[in-house]
Structures are given as structure tokens and as C-alpha cells.
Structure 1
């Protein structure tokens, strides 16, 4: 009878239009005592707690959502372990949609993992700690992330849980990449792929592996291989309607730009698969490709400033575009100074529309890197460019001749030795 009454109250609560009234009605349902055999009541309370959490999510009320998560622990005592894990993960997922709630989300996830450990729910604990590692990475708490990863890896290797092991090694690769330790990042990714090869790897996890592979190949300037991995990741995310398909598409376009194939960007964007994800992110990459194709430093800088959210806020895009900007500046400077043997630095800066100090620093770097031969006369504010020196081949020819003589002497020695024998 109580279950029927609660079901009716749940329907009434869900029918309310005023959020405040709905919150009060759902909270009342959760206060109703439930036993392990009250299946319908437990089911209704499960729906009520999720709906209440969604209301707090819509109101961007992260503290209230954290309280709901704590409150759910009294409800899940009577639920099956599988349902418990699903409910807690659902509630934690709602946090990610509230901007600026990362710290609170970390705290809530940590408390939930501790509760799962104390309640002997080992599988749930490992899942929550894996989620916690990802949150640490997003919050740049790399030391805490590595400590937790090492602890998890020890447990998982004993249990031989390949699925979570793959996820943890993948997260380990991301941490080391963010710490600019590429050898360890590659080793962790190899471990993740090895673990994934022995199980059925879900499309989303496979897409994450491909995405990380693309990122590491891009760090090695192997943009052609990186593009292939980003394409695989894009297809994987796209098939699952995952929002991470957009970053994968952006990285595909980035690889084409870095390969000086800016004309391919329009072809990719015009494709059927990419058209689903048209928006400011894709338009930003298209604008960068146009600026690069036109060799326009001014336009390039303008796009970086005006589309900061789409470009500079993404560390991978930002780092590679910084390298591209540097290359573009170098190309522009080389084109300008090519006809001159002596030119004012201020004149060069005016032509590239950059501050004189920045141009002077870049020219110094280019001279040290032996991009061209020249010196900076800072007293006169001029750049003096020298002709390319003719390479004296005498030493090379001499070494080659000595090498040939050495071979002849060696052959004569062998023949003499044979004759004596």
C-alpha cells in the first residue's frame, strides 16, 4: 500500500512545473523509510533522487548535488551492487555539466571512493578512483594523479582486470604527456594497447586510445600518422554520438595545417561526416587554415585573439599553433630579408607588422640556428646579411682519397698474406 502511495506521490512530483515545489515533493519521497523487500519503493526513490539531482544540475547548484550524493548512500544499502554503481556514476556525471565545480566534484568522488572501499565494493571503488584520476588530470593535480595511478595499477595487476587496466594506463599516458615526459607517455600507451588487445575494447575506449596515439605522434612532428589516428578516433566517437568527436575533428584539421595542406581543410569540413559537427570550433580551424594559406601573420594573430576559447584554451591546439606561428614568422622574415645585404630592423618589423624587439629576438635566433648567415648591428639598428659561403670540398675529397688508399693497402696486405701461406 505504501508503494502505491509513493508511486502516486512520485507521479505528482514529476508533474509539478515549479522547480521549488518539485524539489520539496521529491525530498519528501526520499524521507519515506524503505526496507530491502520494498522493491517498488526503492525503484521510485531511485528515480526521485536522480530527478532531484538533475534539478540541482539545471540550477548549477553543485553543493546541493554533493549533498544528494551523500544522501544516496543510505538508499543504496538496499540496492543491488550493479544498481548502486550505476546510480552513483549517474549522479557524478551530472557534476561535469556544472561549470567551475571541479574541486567539489573531486571531493565528492574521493568521498564516494572511500565509502565504496569501507563497504567492500571493490569494483565500484576502482571505477571511482579511475574517474578521480581523470579529474585530477583536468585540474592539473598531476602528483596526486600519479600516486593514485600507481596504487590502482598494483591492485589491477593482481585482479587482472584488463578493461580498467587499459583505462588507467591510458590516463597514465595523459599525465606523462602533460608533464612533457614523452618516453613514459609512449610506454604507458603501449601498455594500454597491450591490455586492450586481450579483451573486447568498446568503441569509445578504442577512440580514446587512437586519440592519445595521434597526440603523441603529433608531438614527434609526424603529422601524417597523427592524422590517421585522429581520423580513427573521430569515426569512433562519431559512431557513438560522443561530443569528443569535435576535438578529434579539430586535431585532424590541425594536422593538415601543420603539413602545409591548408587547402584540404575545406574538403574535410565539407564532408558528410564533418558537417554534423559544424560550429565555432570547426570555423576557428578553418580561419587559421586561411591565415596560414595566405601567410598572413596579422590575420593569424587576430584569429588567435578573437577565437581564444576554441584555439588557445585547448593546450594541444595552442602548443602546435605556437610552433606554426613561429614557422610562419620565420618564413615571412626570410622572404623580406632575401633581397638585402643590409636592412634596417625597424623596416623589417614594419613589413611583418611586429614589434621591433620581437623581430630582433627572432632574427638573433635564426642566425644562431644557422637559418641564414648574418649579424645584427644593434648600434646602427641594422641586419647585415652575408652571402652563403662556398663549401670547401678539399677536406672531404682528401678524406675520400685516404679511404680509397686504405682499401687498396688492405687488399694488398690480404694478397701478400695469402701468397706467404
Structure 2
């Protein structure tokens, strides 16, 4: 090589890099996932549960091309869209089980746990309580080991609902307490916080009879559900109105439903509770009963509403019976039934219960069908007299004991 001659580097041809190609593939996959989500949301809006279910099944292979976290989020979103329609087609549990089986096969542990948490909720919705308790117990043990607090809160909440439905109030309250304790250490999405508030309100209203506190929880739940446009906002609003009726504040129902947030939920459900509130406020037992029957489609699907409406009916019946029998010392049960326009058998049963509970002082002669009421001043005061005597004797004995101690000291 001659002196002074420069050596040029070999020229290279420009080819697309592997990273650029991978980026392009990732963009295509993300675009495809966005398209799937868009189609799913449209189907959910149209309540097209059949095609949405098929969309979830058909697009599972595409999820193998993305990260496990992204795939889990995608499947959970699609399942949530399907279940939030609340179509109750009867295939929800099987669809969830199929997705769990797929996630297990593909070793998507996080996804499997998320789907199992939703399956616990489905077991509650469809009344398969024992299956829900068994799955929740296994899942809680697993989640505590990996310290997945967000999912722990969900499972505790569903477990509380199941125990409450079974009437095991102590365990329902314990599960709810665990959920509320755990949620203080993490960020809680508005929808989940609203679900916790709703369950807290239900337990305070149904078991502790603390309707003022329950109303506060229902109000918080209503605001939370409304902020995320959840259909459960209407349920929370109905519970708010129910609490006002139970607290003898039925006149506040109209002001609540005419508020800015509640105004858009006006419809048959709200009309039902407004009519119930009016009938209860005016002590119209028969009108109340007719409204409950007329709006049975609104109430029958909700065990909480059914429970409290039944209690309200019993309370209203007691008030009407006390008012009707008050002027009498002896009256035929048949006559009482005619005055309040209810079947004689129902009236006799209720009067007997009121006598046993001490709400009425009297007796029913079943042979003649006559209710005999005792005068209030005929109450036997023996118990109070004996109790007062014992208290006075105790004072005397204490006084004598003190004097004996002084005499002993002087001697």
C-alpha cells in the first residue's frame, strides 16, 4: 500500500433493525387489542352478551403475544364488561371457569387469581354460597402468601356478602373488617370503595339497626358508583331512600330524589319508593301493601329491600292495630280485620304476636274469636315492690355491719 493512501471503511448496506421490527409488531398488537376493546364496549352497550362471550373466547390466542400483566388486564376488562351487563344468562360461571382453566394452562397465575376472585362474586350472585366460601378460603390463603392486598380486599368483600346472605353475621362483619383494614394500606379504586361502603351500610341497617350510620355509608357508596357511572348507583340511592322511610323521615325522600346527582336516576324504581314513602307516612296500611305488590318487579330481586319492606309492613300493621283496638276493652277479631281491611287469620296471628311481645296487654279467646284488653292500671306491681324491699334490706344490712365494726373497735 502506497504511503499517504487513506483506507476507507467498508461500506455497509442499511437494513431495518430487529428492534424496529419488534416495535412495529408491538404497535400492531396494541392496535389490535384496542380494536377488540372498542368492539367489546359496543357489544356491552347493546347488551349483546352472546357475541361478547364469543369475542372473549376467540381472542385468547392473541393475548399470548403480549406480556402477562397486559394480558391479565385485558381479560379482566373483557370479563368485567360481560358480567357488568348483569344479563344472568346462566353461562357466566362457566365462561369464568373456562378462562380460569385457560389461564392455568398458560401459567398466568396473576390472571387466574383475578378470575377466581370474580368467580367468588358470581357464586354469590347465583346463590352457590358453599362453592363461594370454599373457593374464597383457598384463594385467601394463596393471596396472603404473595401479599396481594388489592385482590385480598375484593375476596374479603365477596366473602362478607356470602356470609351475610347465609345469616352468619359475625363472620360477615369479620370479613368486612378485614377488607376495610387491608384497604387502608393501598390505593382503593372508587368502584371498590363504593362496594365496601355499600356492604357496610347493609350490615349496619340489617343487623345493627343503625340506620343513620347506614344512610351515611349508602350516600358515600352512591357518590362513588355515580363517579364511575356504575349501575349500582341506583341501588345505593334506593337504600338511602329506604333508610329515610325507616327513620320516619319520609318527607325528605322527595328532596333527595330531586337533587342534582339523583335526578338522572328517576324512573320506575324511584317512583316505587316515593309511593311507599307516602303510604307509610300517612299510615295507610292497605295502600302500602298494594304498592309493594304493584312494584314487585322492582323489589323482589333484592333481598335487602324485601327484608326491610317486610319489617316496615309489620311495624305499620302494629301501629294500625293499636289505633283500632285502643277504644275497646273487648272486641271481635273479625271486626278488627274489617276495620283495617286485612284477612282475619293474618290479624289474629299479628295480635297474638303483639301480646307475646308485650305490645298489647290482653288475651284472645279463640273459641269466640274475641280480643280482651286489660286496663293499663291492672299491671301487677309485685316485682317492683319485691325489688324495692330487697334494696332497702341491703341498706339496713350495710348500716348494721358498719355499726358492728365500730363497736368492735371501741371494745
Q: TM-score, normalised by structure 2?
A: 0.87
Closer/same/farther in 2, CA of residues 154 and 376 from structure 1, 3 Å limit: same
The Cα of 1:264 is off from its aligned counterpart by: 1.5
Q: Counterpart in 2 of 1:346?
A: 334
DSSP-derived class of the 2:107 partner: coil
Q: 1:378 to 1:404 in 2, by over 3 A?
A: closer
Which residue of the other structure, out of 90, 96, 110, is the alignment partner of 1:123?
Answer: 110
Quick check: 1:62–1:104 contact (8 Å CA) kept in 2?
no
| C-alpha distance 173-329 of structure 1, shift in aligned 2 (>3 A) | same
| Residue 240 of structure 1, CA deviation | 2.9
1:180 aligns with one of 131, 150, 167? 167
Aligned to 2:370: 382
Report SS of the residue matched to 1:272: coil
Cα distance between partner residues in 1 of 2:86 and 2:220: 30
Change (3 A) 1:312 1:414: same
1:72 aligns with 2:32: no
Query: Shift of residue 389 of structure 1?
Result: 4.9
Q: 2:278 aligns with which of 290, 298, 311?
A: 290
The alpha carbon displacement at 1:246 in A equals 1.3
User: Does residue 301 of structure 2 align to residue 316 of structure 1?
Assistant: no
Q: CA deviation at 1:394?
A: 4.8
Equivalent residues of 2:362, 2:373 under 8 A apart? yes
Query: Which of these residues, 226, 235, 240, is aligned with residue 228 of structure 2?
Result: 240
Choose 1 or 2 for highest CA Rg: 2
2:147 alignment partner in structure 1: 160
| Alignment check: 8 A CA contact 1:36 1:78 kept | no
Q: Is the 8 A contact 2:49 2:87 kept in 1?
A: no
Answer with 96-105 or 375-384: which moved more: 96-105
Alignment of 1:214 with 2:201, yes or no, is yes
CA contact (8 A) 1:169 1:192 kept: yes
* Aligned residues of 1:304 and 1:312 also touching (Cα < 8 A): no
Q: Distance in 2 between matches of 1:336 and 1:141?
A: 45
Q: Compute the displacement of 1:331 (Å).
A: 0.9
Structure 1 window deviating more from structure 2 (123-132 vs 344-353): it is 344-353
Q: Does 1:359 align with 2:378?
A: no
Q: Which residue of 1 aligns with 2:80?
A: 93
Residue-by-residue CA offset, 1:104-149 (whole Å, 9 max, x unaligned): 1111111111222232222211111111111111101101110110
Structure 2: gaps (5+ residues): 1-21
Within a 5 Å distance, the mapping from 1:1-400 to structure 2 comes to: 38-50=25-37, 53=40, 62-96=49-83, 100-219=87-206, 220-400=208-388
Stretches of structure 1 that go unaligned for 5 or more consecutive residues are 1-34
TM-score by length of 1: 0.85
- Greater shift in the superposed pair: 366-375 or 210-219: 366-375
Displacement of 1:234 in angstroms is 1.7
Name the stretch that deviates more: 212-221 or 113-122: 113-122
Partners in 2 of 1:55 and 1:197 — Cα distance?
35
Superposed CA RMSD: 2.5
